[in-house]
């Protein structure tokens, strides 16, 4: 688990933590069942208040992304793979919509955008 927080950001610290943990779970960096740092260890690691660290974990537990086991610690929840895939698919769809809008603004037709996507996909340059 790698988390960085900015004390001067407009985004509250607990939200910065939540975003990064969520992202790492969806990307597979954090695996189901993996144990996270304890609340107090996280506070120490990030140099933040204990209540702030607790808030971040509590929120993610309420989203059922993390599970807290009394006296044992906080773990990444066993997420429903099908559900996770759907979620990631819908996230990608949103990004695709933005990409198409950007393409249209650049004066490209849908066919041209499609061609670019295929070319880039085949060249594998993004890897």
Partner 1 sequence: MNAIEVRGLNVRRDHFEMNNVSMEVPKGCVVGLVGRNGAGKTTLIEAIAGVTETGSGTITYDGMSIWENEKQIKQDLGVVFAEPWFNNMTSPRVLVESIYPWYPDFDFKYFVDNMQRMEIDANMTINQYSSGMLRKFLMIFVLARRPKTLILDEPTTGVDPVSRNEMLDLLYEFMQQEDHSILFSTHITSDLDKIADYIVMLEKGRVIMNESKEMLQSRYQYSGRGLPDIETIMLDIIGEGTLPNKGGR
Interface pick for partner 1 out of 31, 49, 99, 121 (rule CB under 8 A):
49
Q: Which is closer to partner 1, CB of 13 or CB of 30? A: 13
| Nearest-5° Cα angle at 96, 95 to 100 | 120
Q: Rounded to whole angstroms, how far apart are CA atoms 56 and 16?
A: 9
Q: Rounded to whole angstroms, how far apart are CA atoms 126 and 6?
A: 29
Distance of alpha carbon 61 from the chain centroid: 15
Interface pick for partner 1 out of 31, 50, 120, 121 (rule CB under 8 A):
50
Q: Which is closer to partner 1, CB of 8 or CB of 98? A: 8
Interface pick for partner 1 out of 10, 90, 95, 123 (rule CB under 8 A):
10
- DSSP annotation of 8: T
Interface pick for partner 1 out of 51, 96, 102, 116 (rule CB under 8 A):
51
Segment lying near partner 1 (by CB under 8 A), choices 5-13, 18-26, 100-108, 118-126: 5-13
Coil vs helix vs strand at 67: strand
Q: Cβ 68 to partner 1, closest distance in Å? A: 14
C-alpha dihedral over 36, 26, 22, 34, to 10 degrees?
-10
Binding site for partner 1 (CB under 8 A): 7-10, 12-14, 38, 40-41, 43-44, 47-52, 55
């Amino acid at each position: 688990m790698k988390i960085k927080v900015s004390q001067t950001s407009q985004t509250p610290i607990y939200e910065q933590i939540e975003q990064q943990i969520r992202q790492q779970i969806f990307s597979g960096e954090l695996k189901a069942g993996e144990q996270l740092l304890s609340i107090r260890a996280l506070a120490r690691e990030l140099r933040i208040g204990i209540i702030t660290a607790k808030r971040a974990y509590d929120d993610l537990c309420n989203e059922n992304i993390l599970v807290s086991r009394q006296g044992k610690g906080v773990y990444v929840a066993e997420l429903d793979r099908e559900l996770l895939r759907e979620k990631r698919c819908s996230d990608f769809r949103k990004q695709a919509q933005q990409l198409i809008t950007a393409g249209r603004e650049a004066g490209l037709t849908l066919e041209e955008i499609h061609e670019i996507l295929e070319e880039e996909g085949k060249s594998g340059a993004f890897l």
